[in-house]
């Protein structure tokens, strides 16, 4: 504990609801341990450009319910170069920062791992991404809020779909992972879901539509992850229109709407726990790891495992998405 006097904290990559709650928890935990916290603005670019500001418990008051990140975020091309990382390290040491807490996703942790290897910087990561695609934690910060946003949108879209007997293809975020799509489809009562992890979902959708086309055309909600191999909701719509012109289709792309908004209770609790344990990890000498939660227990996972190990979809939810269809 005596070796770390000042912890730097930053958010990197895509923003996620709950990042502010995580910052708040880390700052207040460090304060209890008589440790200073330095806020680093705009992610790794902030380290390179020396965008620092001390954070006290008062500075993080009133942010637990806010979306986005008070520290701003970015994806830094400069940090990908040895020169950029050297400058970041020099600025960090000049500021008196002894260790770092990085809140972000896979790219954030890859950068943190390299930084640790080159300069032996103590770093702990908190999984902040709505995609929920990191190994070593059941849920990532922002995922639950993004799912709730998607389900709320699907509920509203279903009203107009039912009024006109239309089929809506709702595209949600997930370039490489279908967690949001799967959860939102099951919770929103969707008739089908297309996921990046499954290569046979389009043929199954076509068989489903063929079967339904024999009777009365009802409203349908098809949830499509943006990273599905078909090419997204617009491309799926084209294929449906070619094969089944009797369906009147509409596409709704939720896009960045899923990243915003006040974090849910679940995300606030998760963010607070991870922020608190990130500080604990640094003070206990646990470096170069992501702090996550598995079965409601805190778990520390090396950065290279968090980003590279496969995190499969819940098979029960997959079965539900295929079984609970009207």
Tell me the catalytic residues: 131
CA distances from 43 to 89, 159, 177, 268, 309 (A): 13, 41, 24, 21, 24
Stretch (H or E) spanning 297: strand 297-302
Residues 6+ positions from 81 with CB-CB distance below 8 Å: none
Which residues make beta-bridge pairs with 108? none
Q: How far apart are CA 74 and CA 243, in angstroms?
A: 42
For the stretch 102-123, what's the b/e string if a residue is b when 16 or more beta carbons lie within 10 angstroms of its beta carbon?
A: bbbbbbbbbbbbebbeeeebbb
Q: How far apart are CA 181 and CA 189, in angstroms?
A: 12
Q: How far apart are CA 288 and CA 301, in angstroms?
A: 9
Is the Cβ–Cβ distance between 69 and 104 less than 8 Å?
no
Ordered alpha helix ranges (H), 120-197: 143-164, 179-188
């Amino acid at each position: 504990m005596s070796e770390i006097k000042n912890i730097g904290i930053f958010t990197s990559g895509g923003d996620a609801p709950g990042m502010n709650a995580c910052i708040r928890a880390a700052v207040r935990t460090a304060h209890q341990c008589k440790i200073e916290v330095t806020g680093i603005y705009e992610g790794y670019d902030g380290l390179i450009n020396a965008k620092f500001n001390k954070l006290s418990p008062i500075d993080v008051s009133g942010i637990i319910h806010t979306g986005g990140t008070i520290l701003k975020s970015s994806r830094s091309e400069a940090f990908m170069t040895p020169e950029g990382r050297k400058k970041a390290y020099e600025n960090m040491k000049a500021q008196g920062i002894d260790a770092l807490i990085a809140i972000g996703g896979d790219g954030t942790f890859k950068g943190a791992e390299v930084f640790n290897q080159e300069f032996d910087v103590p770093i702990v990561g908190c999984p902040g991404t709505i995609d929920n695609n990191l190994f070593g934690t059941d849920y990532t910060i922002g995922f639950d809020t993004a799912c709730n946003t998607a389900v709320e949108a699907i509920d509203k879209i279903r009203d107009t779909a039912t009024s006109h007997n239309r089929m809506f293809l709702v595209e949600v975020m997930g370039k490489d992972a279908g967690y949001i799509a799967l959860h939102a489809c099951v919770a929103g009562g969707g008739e089908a879901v297309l996921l990046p992890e499954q290569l046979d979902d389009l043929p199954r959708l076509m068989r489903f539509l063929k079967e339904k086309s024999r009777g009365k055309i009802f409203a349908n909600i098809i949830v499509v992850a943006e990273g599905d191999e078909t090419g997204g909701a617009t491309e799926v719509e084209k294929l449906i229109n070619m094969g089944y012109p009797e369906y009147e289709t509409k596409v709704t792309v939720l896009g960045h709407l899923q990243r915003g908004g006040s974090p849910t209770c679940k995300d606030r609790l998760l963010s607070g726990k991870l922020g608190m344990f990130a500080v604990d990890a640094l003070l206990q000498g646990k470096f170069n790891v992501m702090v996550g939660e598995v079965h409601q227990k805190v778990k520390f996972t090396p950065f290279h495992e968090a980003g590279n190990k496969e995190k499969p979809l819940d098979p029960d939810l997959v079965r539900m998405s295929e079984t609970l269809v009207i």
